[in-house]
Amino acid sequence: MGSAGKMLYIAGGPGGNSIGPAIHTYVANSLGLDWACEFLRLSDVHDVIELFRRSDFAGGLVTMPHKRTIIPLLDSVDAYVKEIGACNFVVRRPDGHLHGSNTDWSGIKSALDACRSPSLPARGYSAMVYGAGGASRAAIYALVAGLNCKEIYIVNRDEKEVAELVADVNTYTTTKPKLTHIMSVTQAEAMKCPQYIISTVPDFEPQSSEEITCCEILHHFLERAWSQEHVLLDMCYHPPLTRNLKAGVNASWTVIPGFAVVAHQFAQQWDLWTGRSINTEAVFSMCDRLIQERETKIPQEVVTA
């Protein structure tokens, strides 16, 4: 095997989890590379970058909560990171230079394209993004650049985070969508129901009054549409079938789990790491198998690829 003893890391926070290590290790072995993949549960992004700087580092993926804070610690980033304001992918160049990109947005776009009803026009719908962190930025970019959504609602518990998100989106050098912060069910009732909803928050039971209101807004839109031509995508993939996805299934929406977004990025990520192609069909099959092992039963309404 070539490139002996190299490490891939998926950098998340405490309590995080992923099927990624098993899949990426499998891909490496299928390419004849002696690489292993490990999930890091680290609260401090400086601990992440310390591991990324080691000589045995081959490449990394970045998840919540590090997608924004890692950017200034990298040696360079591409145009996608600059436009989106979040980084989920790192490659180590031969001279040790750490370069960041964002593949989340293309994974989101591909996952939405794969489940779009043939009866629907490809572009121009309104959408909603639940959350205002790093993943929300990739979601908005995918909706704008990939699906040409003109109006996007933001639902989030923290007004300051929303203001920062709006400021970042307003720096787009391409088309800027109309962003509306929805803060109550009453406000939501006066808005057109979004065709797409992308949730970018962890799977948790709402506790604060702000969290409860956000959850009520989501459920209002889900219950108002009641149609499989409307799509709910949840970026969270731990657990595979989240509270939000279950609510979407109950409301007869087409739902897409977070692991489908991850799977749609594998080919691009391995091309950037190695310049080589992978067997995407085998990777998707492995994703499905690993997910089924973790979740005893996933409803047929859930779109996995």
Kindly give the confidence (pLDDT) of every residue in the chain, 305 residues in length, as a single tens digit, with 9 standing for 90 and above.
Answer: 445 689 999 999 886 667 789 899 999 999 999 999 999 999 999 999 999 999 999 999 999 899 999 999 999 999 999 999 999 999 999 999 999 999 999 999 999 988 876 665 555 689 999 999 999 999 999 999 999 999 999 999 999 999 999 999 999 988 899 999 999 999 999 999 999 999 999 999 999 999 999 999 999 999 998 777 899 999 987 788 899 999 999 999 999 998 889 889 999 999 999 999 998 888 888 887 887 776 654 454 555 44
Q: Read off the CATH number of the domain in which 20 is found.
A: 3.40.50.10860
CB 291 within 8 Å of CB 240? yes
Q: Are residues 129 and 254 in the same domain?
A: yes
Instruction: Give the DSSP H/E element, type plus range, for residue 259.
Output: helix 258-263
Q: Are residues 13 and 117 in the same domain?
A: no
Q: Are residues 92 and 23 in the same domain?
A: yes
* Active site (catalytic) residues: 67
Residue 156 lies in a domain: yes
Q: Are residues 42 and 19 in the same domain?
A: yes
Q: Are residues 110 and 95 in the same domain?
A: no
Last residue of a domain, one of 232, 258, 284: 258
HEC-encoded secondary structure of 80-107:
HHHHHCCCCEEEECCCCCEEEECCHHHH
Residue range(s) defining the domain that contains residue 209:
106-258
| Cis amide prior to 65 (ω within 30 degrees) | yes
For residue 296, the model assigns a pLDDT of: 52
Residue 207 lies in a domain: yes
Residue 267 lies in a domain: no
Q: Read off the CATH number of the domain in which 159 is found.
A: 3.40.50.720
Q: Which two three-digit tokens encode residue 278? A: 């992978």
Residue 265 lies in a domain: no
Last residue of a domain, one of 217, 235, 258: 258
Q: Are residues 139 and 97 in the same domain?
A: no
Q: Are residues 79 and 24 in the same domain?
A: yes
For residue 271, which of 88, 43, 7, 59 has the smallest C-alpha distance? 59
CB 166 within 8 Å of CB 202? no
| CA distances, 184 to each of 2, 126, 178 (Å) | 56, 18, 18
Last residue of a domain, one of 45, 73, 102: 102
Q: Which two three-digit tokens encode residue 81? A: 């990171």
Q: Are residues 56 and 152 in the same domain?
A: no
Q: Are residues 28 and 161 in the same domain?
A: no
* Residue partners of 69: CB distance under 8 A and separation at least 6: 45
Q: Are residues 133 and 196 in the same domain?
A: yes
Residue 274 lies in a domain: no
Q: How far apart are CA 123 and CA 143, in angstroms?
A: 9
Residue 110 lies in a domain: yes
Residue 162 lies in a domain: yes
Q: Are residues 254 and 111 in the same domain?
A: yes
| CA distances, 265 to each of 64, 110, 243, 248 (Å) | 17, 9, 24, 24
User: In degrees rounded to 5, what are phi and psi of residue 27?
Assistant: -60, -45
Q: Are residues 127 and 144 in the same domain?
A: yes
HEC-encoded secondary structure of 112-129:
HHHHCCCCCCCCCCCEEE
Q: Which two three-digit tokens encode residue 206? A: 């709402």
- Counting the structural domains of the chain, the total is 2
The count of residues in the chain is 305
Residue 203 lies in a domain: yes
CB 260 within 8 Å of CB 111? yes
Give 37's strand partners: 8
Give 9's strand partners: 38, 60
